[in-house]
Amino acid sequence: MVKAEERDDMTWYSCEGCGLMFDVEDDAKRHEERCDAKEPTYLQ
Ligand SMILES: [Zn+2]
pLDDT digits (tens, 9 = 90+) for 23-33: 999 999 999 99
Q: Find the 30 Cα to ligand 1 centroid distance in Å.
A: 10
Q: Find the 13 Cα to ligand 1 centroid distance in Å.
A: 11
For ligand 1, a single-atom ion, which residues have Cβ within 5 Å?
A: 15, 17-18, 20, 35
Burial (0-12, 13-18, 19+ Cβ within 10 Å), 44: exposed
Give SS3 for 8.
coil
Express each pLDDT in 2-41 by its tens digit.
Answer: 999 999 999 999 998 899 999 999 999 999 999 987 655 5
Q: What pLDDT is attached to residue 17?
A: 87
How is the chain split into domains, by residue range? 2-43
Q: Find the 14 Cα to ligand 1 centroid distance in Å.
A: 8
